Amino acid sequence: MGSVAPTEQTMGGGCDYRALEDTEDREDEGQGNASFITQTDANGMPLSSAANSLLHETRRIDDAALLRSRERQLMNMRSRYHSGLCYRLTSLCLNICCCIAEEDTSTYYNPVTGELTLLPPQDPDTSGKKCLVLDLDETLVHSSFKPVPNPDYIIPVTIEGTTHRVYVVKRPGVDLFLERLGELYEIVVFTASLSKYADPLLDMLDVSHVIKARLFRDSCSCFQGNYVKDLALLGRELKDVIIVDNSPASYLFHPENAIGVSTFIDDTEDREQFYCASFLESIVDVDDVRKTLHTYPDFIAQQIKLKNSNTKTNNDAQDESNV
């Protein structure tokens, strides 16, 4: 990595993102260039464990502050929508798409409700399915600017003319997780990372082609220094929306819609994706997910207990056969 400090200006959510500093001597991946890919607050600093634990007290959120945050994001969405509309009209009239900045397609207008949403209406393939919102970093994969043994992917990311390598390790079971749940849910990846890193990664990760939409940092709301994924802006009924994320800050507005998973770094024995897939399969037909998701920790405990019991039984049987 070079020592030039690239700068990333405001991308959305009303937040100013700090300049990316020299990372050669930094041990903390939450600083420097890694703010492109890791769980950070709106100032680019890593979320500490203490901060995460405090975020569990979601019922204490100031409703007025929440509404202000949501209105700021709606203003950004309106701006993006109208900019995109101008883009489409210009493209049709002048046919110079290659000369115009890339269209932002993350804002849609619902003519039925008159609302702007982050997702388009469901297509025939997903109509009637619940919406499963998946975090990316530390939930599906772990990424680092530092080389790691046996990475699954190496992604080049260009920052102000300098190309850096991002080393990606997939969480055990992620391929099967996406394949199994892609048949049952409308899959949406919602990440606080930047699209220049996350988009090419998702191109490689989505081998089953089940991810229906991708939302990035500019679709997050900025609330009390955190990037929050406001599920109310998706354009889906909240009773049918589930978010799977390792960071409580992400689901600060809708904890009752969340499955809080453990943070994945490099544990090759990690089983969370397998447990989570089984749980999600078991609740696909419930009327309101918010009444069921709180049982996930109990489900995990039961699965671990069953696994340990089966292991003991197999070991006992092996011992008897050796006698």
- The residues annotated with a catalytic role in the active site are 135, 137
Q: From the centroid of its chain, how far is CA 228?
A: 10
Residues 6+ apart with CB under 8 A from 21: 5, 31, 32
Question: Which residue type, as a one-letter code, is found at position 242?
Answer: I
Q: Are strands 131-134 and 221-223 parallel, antiparallel or unpaired?
A: unpaired
